[in-house]
Amino acid sequence: MDVAKIQQHLQDNFETDLEDIRAFLRQPSISYTGEGIKETGEWIIRWIESLGGTARLVPVEGGYHPVVYGRIDSGAPRTLLIYGMYDIMPADEPGWIAPPFAAEIHDWEDQGPCIINRGSTNTKGPLMSFLTTLRAIIAVEGKLPVNLIFAIEGEEEYGSRSFHRFVADHLDELKDAEAMLFPMFGRDVDGTPAIRLGTKGPLYFELKCTGGDWGGPTTRGVHGSNNVWVASPVWRLINALSSMVDKDQRVTIDGFHDQVRKPTPEDIELCRTLAATRPPEIELRTHDVTRIKWDMDAFTAYITAQTQPQLNIDGIWGGYTGAGTKTLLPHEATVKMDIRMVPDMEPDATVELVRRHLDAHGYGDIEMKVINNYTWSKVSLKEPIVQALVETFRQMGQEPAIYPLNIGSAPFYVFDRMLKIPYVFGGMGHGARAHSSNEYISVPGILDFEKSMVHVIDNYLRLAAK
Amino acid sequence: MDVAKIQQHLQDNFETDLEDIRAFLRQPSISYTGEGIKETGEWIIRWIESLGGTARLVPVEGGYHPVVYGRIDSGAPRTLLIYGMYDIMPADEPGWIAPPFAAEIHDWEDQGPCIINRGSTNTKGPLMSFLTTLRAIIAVEGKLPVNLIFAIEGEEEYGSRSFHRFVADHLDELKDAEAMLFPMFGRDVDGTPAIRLGTKGPLYFELKCTGGDWGGPTTRGVHGSNNVWVASPVWRLINALSSMVDKDQRVTIDGFHDQVRKPTPEDIELCRTLAATRPPEIELRTHDVTRIKWDMDAFTAYITAQTQPQLNIDGIWGGYTGAGTKTLLPHEATVKMDIRMVPDMEPDATVELVRRHLDAHGYGDIEMKVINNYTWSKVSLKEPIVQALVETFRQMGQEPAIYPLNIGSAPFYVFDRMLKIPYVFGGMGHGARAHSSNEYISVPGILDFEKSMVHVIDNYLRLAAK
């Protein structure tokens, strides 16, 4: 590929790309309500077709919204899988400075001109910017130098509940892919691009304690004064929870740490570099956190965050939560929790750990309801598709921050475990405030992102050929 | 007084009384909204005036609704204070089988004909039935054999926040009273009438843990995956709470039990009788409780409920409490709690106990907000006004269940501590479902109640004269 010529073409035609991206962002595709899902899926299909490919909506049994499956066959020797998502969160939170589906351009904080729009960074902006990049490659080169398979899911914001089933049911249509690329705007607020070599696996569950044979009111809350001789399901849940952590919030679930893989030399090396170049304070500042857990030093903080599991309480509720002094002995209390599983913790065994801990501590009555549970995933820094992105950043003058893992979760195990292919997610470009008001993407960042995607494809073809 | 003749008069004129009571119940007097408060206060004033007394609405500085203060001076040697309330809860809960302000009469469960109406049992029904009783006494006797002072408050359902100030500001107008009577329908579902020799004092407070210098997100919830290196205010609150009870939910706040008075011989005797005649299972069954706390035997259960304090959790909340898997590390968590103070725990010292416990266990940052806090109150079984009611029940063929305390709270300390007079609350009659849909009172119970009030006054004058 003539990378320089394609990048010049992108620069010369940026206004057209920008308007195509803004038009796409103005089309809502709300996962929870289904609003605009079909129109958005068809929009992507038209784009793939306009690039010389074929595409269709593939419904998934038990799924909410179909996958856009497409192919662009260029007769090239290599094939990449492009993963993405076309659904977005609702935009009903307060505080928007512009309508959430108007794709207006405003100066945002110190980021210069930005498109303010729901889904702009997460992730319809990078998805459409990737398609406009392909258009530029074809315009300059006549065709793509690589075959592409697209699997763009429509229920990522619903927890990707059926994407693994799509993959299982369509292995034949995916098996040609040698690596996966998930185009994303990857630069942080301070400009550093990130590469994350995997994801933790989420075990999201509820624990519910209800009055019953052990005691407590069984069917409804009763007057609070009865607590003097009637036990409380709220106290019982609190006691059960407090058996799972020590005073410093270190997890004490029996066997919780047994399956955790010892940090590898690569983990240690990457965390050393992170600690030296990017103090955790930078990351925590964006969360308005003034003190890191356990007063860890920079290296310990990174190696902990990147290689250890957590036991988080996402929410807790029970009884009367309004104003004033209503007095109530509640009959139930519930907590939502998530464990982030790291290598080599596995989903079913982790559920078992929690269940067994509760039983062993006398809380066999506490109900455990698993809401989401899939495994972690890991890719090596040495993979050509990963190195292709690392080199891209360096070619564009940026040294990436490379993390052993994403401390959050994504169902990328479908790639490394089911399809057995390596993957990478990222790119130049900057966006932020996903799931919040005023989600935005930097306008100059879009062009950077487009240029970076040309590099990634070019680098990958070169590195994979070695 | 010619008790028999008055009771016959009540029986003969019951239809008139019933219609007067129903008319009064149809007039709403909602504490929270103020709807009908003024009209209801004036209604009571007209009644007191029609009985030959004087009355007025007395606003209280900082109060929500005025007190109806009235007097009926018969030139009698003795004076009783009639305490009551004319405000009621809203009636917006679902499930009413009849309009909540239509005073319709329906057969209710096994109670026979009942008036279904908000405020019927709590406590506009007994208030008006007491006034109709006075009318009958005057009709037969020409005048009342006792002077009456009325103090009927309008914000009981708001926590009686200013009633103690009314008493403090009007000691002169209340000082003639030698005892207080709070007319209430006092028979349980199974027909047993109850006498409670005091009330516990409520300390209702909130504890709130927010991220800060100790750690945690400080201004907003952040993505839950950050819990791996950012501490959690929810875990911190749970740890603080779990330091306040042991695994069996016994309170372990330092010094919590130090001020608790040893059960008196009267307490022990009364609880022995309760245990022998009224197994706790009867009381707990109405709350759908299948197992008593700590598997206590009947006597231990009663002596615990009647003489020991509690530490109840009325409600707890923090983080994400909706459906699905939103992952959040919350920046704050809050719990609403109430302690029921028994003799000799006092409000300020009890607040101090909680505060000092938190500080001593390293939770000085956890905010404690006191919402309601007043002291217990106690009256002796030997008081003439109490014995007057005990004898009343026996005269009417009922053996009352006599409790050392009400395990709930009411600001009756204004009577025994501020006015230094004994008091009693109760009477024949049955009503239930206060604060719930289909609040009701038994129609035959109203006549029983009226007859019982004649006995109470008659008995009191005789016993007090001894």
Per-residue pLDDT tens digits for B379-411: 999 999 999 999 999 999 999 999 999 999 988
Reply yes or no on whether the pLDDT at A442 is more than 80. yes
pLDDT of residue B189: 83
Q: Give pLDDT tens digits for A301-326.
A: 999 999 999 999 999 999 999 988 88
Q: Give pLDDT tens digits for A57-116.
A: 999 888 889 999 999 999 999 999 999 999 999 998 889 999 999 999 999 998 999 999
Structure confidence at residue A327 as a pLDDT band (50, 70, 90): confident
> What integer best gives the mean pLDDT of chain B?
96
CB contact A274 to B (< 8 Å): no
Chain A residues inside the 8 Å CB shell of B252: none
Query: Nearest-CA distance from A291 to chain B in Å?
Result: 5
pLDDT of residue A324: 81
Query: A241, A245, A284, A312: best mutation site toward chain B, by most B Cβ within 10 Å?
Result: A312
Structure confidence at residue B293 as a pLDDT band (50, 70, 90): very high
Q: Which of residues 81-110 of A touch B (CB under 8 A)?
A: none
CB nearest to B317's CB, from A215, A220, A316: A316
Chain B residues inside the 8 Å CB shell of A296: 229
Indicate yes or no: CB of A249 within 8 angstroms of CB of B236: yes
Instruction: Check if the beta carbon of residue A423 is closer than 8 Å to that of residue A412.
Output: yes
Structure confidence at residue B210 as a pLDDT band (50, 70, 90): very high
> Scanning every residue of chain A, which has its alpha carbon at the shortest distance from the alpha carbon of B221?
A287
CB nearest to B224's CB, from A212, A213, A312: A312
Instruction: Check if the beta carbon of residue A380 is closer than 8 Å to that of residue A422.
Output: yes
Residue A396's closest CA among A460, A462, A463, A447?
A447
A389: which 2 tokens?
Answer: 């992105």
Reply yes or no on whether the pLDDT at B62 is more than 90. no
CB nearest to B408's CB, from A223, A239, A317: A223
Reply yes or no on whether the pLDDT at A179 is more than 90. yes
pLDDT of residue B217: 94
Reply yes or no on whether the pLDDT at B286 is more than 80. no
Indicate yes or no: CB of B225 within 8 angstroms of CB of A409: yes
pLDDT of residue B104: 98
pLDDT > 70 fraction of chain A, expressed in percent and rounded: 100
CB contact B288 to A (< 8 Å): yes
pLDDT of residue B283: 83
Chain A residues inside the 8 Å CB shell of B239: 242, 245, 247, 249
CB contact A321 to B (< 8 Å): yes
> Mind giving me the DSSP string for A409-421?
E--THIIIIII--
- List for chain A the helix, strand, coil content (%; round to 5): 40, 25, 40
pLDDT > 90 fraction of chain B, expressed in percent and rounded: 89
pLDDT of residue B302: 97
Indicate yes or no: CB of A327 within 8 angstroms of CB of B317: no
Supply the pTM of this predicted model.
0.91
pLDDT of residue A126: 98
> Scanning every residue of chain A, which has its alpha carbon at the shortest distance from the alpha carbon of B231?
A293
Structure confidence at residue B61 as a pLDDT band (50, 70, 90): confident
Reply yes or no on whether the pLDDT at B464 is more than 90. yes
> Mind giving me the DSSP string for A150-198?
EEEES-GGGT-TTHHHHHHHTHHHHTT-SEEEEE---B-TTS-BEEE-E
Q: Are strands A79-85 and A423-426 parallel, antiparallel or unpaired?
A: unpaired
Query: Nearest-CA distance from B188 to chain A in Å?
Result: 16
The span from the first CA to the last CA of chain A, in angstroms, equals 17
Q: Is A8 helix (H, G, I), strand (E, B) or coil?
A: helix
Q: For residue A95, what is the DSSP state?
A: -
Q: For residue B150, what is the DSSP state?
A: E
CB nearest to A291's CB, from B213, B287, B315: B213
Reply yes or no on whether the pLDDT at B130 is more than 90. yes
Query: Nearest-CA distance from A133 to chain B in Å?
Result: 31
CA distance A233 to A130: 52
CB contact A313 to B (< 8 Å): yes
Q: Give pLDDT tens digits for B135-168.
A: 999 999 999 999 999 999 999 988 788 999 999 9
Burial class (CB in 10 A: 0-12, 13-18, 19+), B315: buried
Q: Give pLDDT tens digits for A273-301.
A: 999 999 998 888 878 899 999 999 999 99
CB nearest to A239's CB, from B242, B319, B362: B242
A53: which 2 tokens?
Answer: 């490919």
CB contact A292 to B (< 8 Å): yes
B309: which 2 tokens?
Answer: 């304090």
Q: Which of residues 170-229 of A touch B (CB under 8 A)?
A: 200, 202, 204, 211-220, 222-229
Structure confidence at residue A158 as a pLDDT band (50, 70, 90): confident
CB nearest to B338's CB, from A229, A327, A372: A327
Residue A184's closest CA among A265, A125, A115, A267?
A125
Burial class (CB in 10 A: 0-12, 13-18, 19+), A336: buried
Query: Nearest-CA distance from B375 to chain A in Å?
Result: 15
Indicate yes or no: CB of B288 within 8 angstroms of CB of A222: yes
Structure confidence at residue A141 as a pLDDT band (50, 70, 90): very high
CA distance A111 to A430: 9
Indicate yes or no: CB of B222 within 8 angstroms of CB of A296: no
Look up residue A424 and give its amino acid. Answer: V
Structure confidence at residue B417 as a pLDDT band (50, 70, 90): very high
Query: B89, B227, B285: best mutation site toward chain A, by most A Cβ within 10 Å?
Result: B227
